[in-house]
């Protein structure tokens, strides 16, 4: 079943249309939502809600335009919105708790893990930059498509990508892991 | 410098891609989506139920200045309304829709109604005949318009029992199943009773004979299709047979 057939089926109230869209797009949507929110459970929640939004608003989808950018825009907008709200809450919680927490030795050891370093570094950059990085690099979309999904001018997307790359690099340098050398000298990962 | 930039970008790309693999392709949100869709249908229905019910009563009471009494009863997603007014209101039917049924194939009927028809399978029910019932055309204030949508009528033989299954898209769109009956609610002394009962895990409009057997069932699917099963009188079916029929519709 093609996207067009699936959407037509959904418009007729045929649940097979939704099943087809979920099967085709859930992994990419989950990856995008996870990379923006840094929270797997929340990503699942957001993606399920995004599919529900598709179900509720399928009449508004322009049949002449591809489904994926429209859908990823819904996912990205929701994930960015959630991530921003959580960041504000965490800042407040941090202020209320004070900043005297020292890391335990096992936590320090864990932080040596490359995946964790990258994950931590990504967590510290703004959600919009995470979204741009995820769409550009994990989804492998060109800048024009990223701009379309994020509903921002292409210049803004270039800026988000540029800032995101540098911020990620700085975070990784600050973490001091082995991947830093590779990312700054051009070594292969 | 540009080469260094390309390498840096390649490194960042690789890092972001590795990070995205925290979500592997075994991820499955289909259950969560189904739950949400089901809940989304339930919540507005409950809300709309109140609005629709009040509106229906007001319309019934005010249309044409005719004396009308509306009594509603409901359970879950089903609304039964008893009206002492003509079922078709002020309109004038232009065609006898039921009499215009035509025998056809399942595929043709399905194409004409525009939705996937559910067929009883997996039990000893034999599909004898398929008919397409065109929409009932009405004239209201000089304007001719369809009163409802076309329907598929399927005739089955189930052992000694003959069944008629009618499937029709609800022209009212998403919302509760709204059953309007042109008679007062049956009292305890009435020969038959109509009510909402749970059958096969969901509420259905159930008509029972005076002997307590089910002679008709009606419900609305998530796909907005109203399904009615009529059992040829005088033989009815019991609740377990009714549940089995519903579970084998698909």
- What are A8-37's pLDDT values in tens digits? 888 776 778 888 899 999 999 999 999 999
B50: its two tokens: 């109140």
pLDDT of residue A135: 93
What chain B residue is nearest to A167 in terms of C-alpha separation? B12
For residue A40, with 0-12 CB atoms within 10 Å meaning exposed, 13-18 middle and 19 or more buried, which class applies?
middle
- Which of B7, B2, B19 is closest to A184 using CA atoms? B7
Of A18, A30, A138, the CB nearest to B37: A18
Count of residues for chain A? 189
Q: Would B209 be classed as within a structural domain?
A: yes
Least CB–CB distance from A13: residue in B3, B13, B223: B223
Contacts of B3 in chain A (CB under 8 A): 186
The DSSP-derived string for B17-28 is HHHHTTS-TT--
Q: For residues A24 and A47, give the distance between their C-alpha atoms in angstroms, rounded to a whole number.
A: 13
Token readout for A13 is 């109230």
Of residues A6 and B188, more confidence is placed in A6
Q: A35, B19: Cβ pair inside 8 Å?
A: yes
Rounded to the nearest 5 degrees, what angle is found at the Cα of B34, between the Cα atoms of B33 and B40?
Answer: 85
Structural domain includes residue B8: no
Count CB-CB contacts under 10 A for residue A45.
Answer: 18
pLDDT at residue A73 in the model: 92
- Residue among B6, B8, B18, B20 with most chain A CBs within 10 A, to mutate: B20
In chain A, the N- to C-terminal Cα span, in Å, equals 38
Q: What is the per-residue DSSP string for A128-163?
A: HHHHHHIIIIIS---HHHHHHHHTS-HHHHHHHHHH
How many distinct structural domains can be found in chain B? 1
Q: Quote the CA–CA distance of A181 and B15 in Å, as a whole number.
A: 13
**pLDDT score at A98:** 52
Contact A15 B3 (CB under 8 A): no
B16 located within any domain: no
Say what the pLDDT of residue B139 is.
64
Instruction: Using the predicted structure, report yes or no on whether residue A112 has a pLDDT greater than 70.
Output: no
CA–CA distance, B75 with A106 (Å, rounded to integer)? 57
CA atoms of A158 and A127, how far apart (whole Å): 15
Q: Between A and B, how many residue pairs show a Cβ–Cβ distance under 8 A?
A: 122
Q: What is the pLDDT of residue B52?
A: 40
Contacts of B227 in chain A (CB under 8 A): none
Q: Are B168 and B136 in contact (CB under 8 A)?
A: no
Angle at A7 between CA A21 and CA B130, to 5 degrees: 110
pLDDT (tens place) for every residue of chain B, 250 residues total:
445 667 778 888 888 888 888 887 788 888 888 777 766 654 443 333 433 443 343 333 333 333 333 444 444 466 665 554 444 444 554 555 555 778 888 888 888 888 888 898 877 788 889 999 888 766 666 666 666 778 899 999 887 788 899 998 887 777 777 776 655 444 444 446 778 888 887 888 888 887 788 888 888 887 888 899 988 766 788 888 888 888 888 7
pTM: 0.47
> Is B132 inside a domain boundary?
yes
Quick check: B4 and A186 CB within 8 A? yes
Residue B3 belongs to a domain? no
ipTM strictly over 0.95? no
CB atoms within 10 A of CB A50: 27
At residue A145, the pLDDT reads 92
A134 with B16: Cβ contact below 8 A:
yes
pLDDT for the residue numbered A47: 93
Cβ contact, residue pair A14, B224, below 8 Å: no
Tell me how close the Cα of B131 comes to any Cα of chain A, in angstroms.
21
User: Which residue in B18, B37, B116 is closest to A118 by CB distance?
Assistant: B18
Inside any domain, residue B75: yes
Residue B95 included in any domain? yes
Tell which of B2, B21, B23, B40 to mutate to test the A interface (max A CBs under 10 Å).
Answer: B23
Within-domain flag for B184: yes
Q: Render pLDDT for B152-210 as a digit per residue (tens, 0 to 9).
A: 999 998 877 888 999 988 877 777 777 766 554 444 444 467 788 888 878 888 888 87
Locus of tokens 């199943």: B177
First to last CA, chain B: 64
pLDDT tens-digit profile of A134-177? 999 998 899 999 999 999 999 999 999 999 999 988 888 776 54
The full set of domains in chain A, from first to last, is 1-98 (1.10.1740.10), 102-189 (1.10.10.10)
What is the pLDDT, as a whole number, of residue B4?
61
Nearest-Cα distance to chain B for A132, in Å, is: 11
**pLDDT for residue A149:** 92
Range of the domain at B180: 30-84+91-247
Polymer length of chain B: 250
What number is the average pLDDT over the span A41-60? 87
Q: How many angstroms away from the CA of B206 is the closest CA of chain A?
A: 25
Q: Which residue of A has its CA nearest to B8?
A: A183
């Amino acid at each position: 079943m093609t996207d067009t057939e699936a959407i037509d089926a959904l418009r007729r109230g045929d649940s097979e249309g939704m099943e087809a869209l979920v099967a085709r797009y859930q992994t990419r949507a989950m990856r995008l939502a996870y990379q923006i929110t840094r929270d797997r459970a929340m990503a699942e929640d957001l993606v399920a809600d995004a599919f529900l939004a598709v179900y509720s608003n399928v009449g508004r989808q322009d049949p002449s335009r591809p489904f994926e950018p429209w859908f990823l825009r819904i996912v990205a907008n929701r994930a960015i919105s959630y991530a921003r709200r959580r960041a504000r809450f965490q800042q407040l919680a941090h202020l209320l708790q004070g900043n005297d927490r020292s890391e335990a030795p096992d936590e320090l050891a864990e932080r040596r893990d490359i995946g964790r370093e990258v994950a931590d570094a990504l967590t510290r950059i703004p959600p919009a930059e995470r979204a741009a990085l995820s769409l550009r690099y994990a989804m492998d979309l060109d800048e024009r498509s990223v701009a379309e999904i994020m509903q921002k001018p292409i210049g803004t997307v270039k800026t988000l990508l540029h800032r995101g790359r540098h911020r990620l690099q700085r975070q990784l340098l600050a973490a001091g892991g082995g991947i830093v050398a590779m990312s700054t000298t051009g070594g292969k990962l | 410098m540009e080469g260094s930039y390309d390498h840096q970008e390649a490194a960042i790309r690789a890092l972001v891609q590795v990070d995205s693999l925290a979500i592997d392709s075994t991820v499955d949100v289909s259950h969560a989506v189904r739950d949400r869709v089901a809940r989304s249908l339930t919540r507005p229905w409950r809300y709309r139920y109140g609005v629709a019910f009040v509106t229906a009563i007001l319309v019934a009471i005010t249309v044409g200045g005719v004396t009308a009494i509306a009594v509603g009863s409901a359970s879950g997603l089903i609304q039964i309304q008893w009206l002492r007014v003509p079922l078709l209101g002020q309109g004038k039917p232009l065609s006898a829709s039921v009499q215009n049924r035509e025998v056809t194939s399942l595929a043709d009927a399905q194409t004409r109604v525009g939705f996937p028809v559910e067929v009883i399978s997996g039990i000893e029910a034999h599909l004898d005949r398929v008919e397409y019932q065109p929409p009932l055309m009405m004239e209201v204030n000089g304007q001719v318009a369809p009163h409802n949508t076309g329907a598929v009528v399927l005739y089955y033989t189930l052992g000694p029992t003959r069944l008629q299954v009618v499937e029709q898209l609800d022209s009212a769109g998403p919302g509760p199943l709204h059953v309007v009956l042109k008679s007062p609610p049956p009292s305890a002394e009435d020969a038959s009773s109509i009510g909402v009962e749970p059958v096969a895990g969901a509420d259905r409009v159930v008509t029972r004979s005076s002997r307590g057997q089910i002679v008709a069932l009606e419900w609305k699917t998530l796909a907005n299709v109203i399904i009615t099963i009529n059992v040829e009188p005088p033989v009815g079916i019991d609740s377990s047979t009714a549940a089995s029929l519903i579970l084998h519709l698909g």
